[in-house]
Amino acid sequence: MTRALLLALVVACDQASSVGRFVRDGAEEAAAAHGELLCKINASKCGHVYACDATADNDLGQVEICVQNDTPIEDVEAQYGACEPTPRHTGLCYWHCDGGAGCNALSGCWCP
């Protein structure tokens, strides 16, 4: 692995931990761009953001959650009610369940 690629991966990992801060600051487009980059680096961590019927204390008033791409949406709907792609931004997210920040969704990541 070249030094440049290794440095890019380290920077991407640091950016992933900051995605939650982007959501709180209102820079959803920047967060989505970071999500898109990270999805290209590690497709298994790629997901989409859904807004679900369950109420939440946020600007949408609904649970907004990052769901890993290979997770059946029915599993999420069993917990939060009907879910649709979020109206707030493009919907890409970096899915992780390691206790890190954000997931580019107001309610974080769906971790079964």
Q: What is the pTM of this model?
A: 0.67
Domain boundaries, the chain: 3-94
Would you tell me how many other CB atoms lie within 10 Å of the CB of residue 105?
31
Between the alpha carbon of residue 74 and those of residues 41, 50, 54, the distances in Å are: 27, 12, 14
* Tens digits of residue pLDDT in 59-104: 899 999 999 999 999 999 999 999 999 998 877 888 888 876 668 8
Q: What's the gap between Cα 20 and its chain centre?
A: 8
Q: Nearest Cα to 16, choosing from 73, 100, 80?
A: 100
